[in-house]
Amino acid sequence: PPDCTFQPELNPKSRELNAAKGHTENRRVYERLYEDAAKMRSERSDRSTEAEQEDCSTSERQGDTYSHVKSHYNFSKPSQLMADITREQQRRRQRVEEQRQQMQHDELKECTFTPRTAAASGGPSLRRSDFQSTSTMSSCSAIPAGPVLISGYDRFMENRRMAE
């Protein structure tokens, strides 16, 4: 443009770098920027094309891996296809549930603890004496054998008597 009169002076090193990139002084900046952008776009599309080709070759290799496996669905009757798939899913769910129940049963079979319940003894299920007589609870300090000492109780009773 005629109103832009500024012309920068480039040192020799900058001119060498500019020439190495293929830029000449007589080309306009906009032309150079457009060409650079076009070059970057083409490089990007080349990379994406290479990536797609690589993906395709990978999928072809995977296809060869399972080519010997036959499908157990009947594709010749599309109307029954969804019913077959649903039936297969139900069978799998049922098999998983049976395995889970079997594992739970085996785990419970290993348990030897059988608690006394009200139904088995005919009365209340647990009494304080039951806890004191069991071997596991006899060493427990949760149930004291004698009177319980509470710090500050004597002072509390003394203050109560004085208040009366």
Calculate mean pLDDT across residues 6-20: 82
Q: How far is CA 59 from CA 45, 50, 64, in A?
A: 21, 14, 9
* Residue 139 and residue 124 in contact, taking contact as beta carbons nearer than 8 Å: no
* Residue 84 and residue 73 in contact, taking contact as beta carbons nearer than 8 Å: yes
Compute the mean pLDDT over every residue in the chain, rounded to the nearest whole number: 77
Q: Where are the domains of the chain?
A: 10-51, 75-110
What confidence tens digit (pLDDT) does each residue in 103-149 have?
999 988 888 777 777 665 565 555 555 555 554 544 555 666 677 77
- The pTM assigned to this predicted structure is 0.30
If one compares 87 and 28, the residue with the highest pLDDT of the two is 87
Q: What is the pLDDT of residue 97?
A: 97
Q: How far is CA 60 from CA 52, 54, 65, 66, in A?
A: 12, 10, 9, 10
What confidence tens digit (pLDDT) does each residue in 16-33 have?
887 777 666 566 777 878
d(CA 129, CA 120): 18
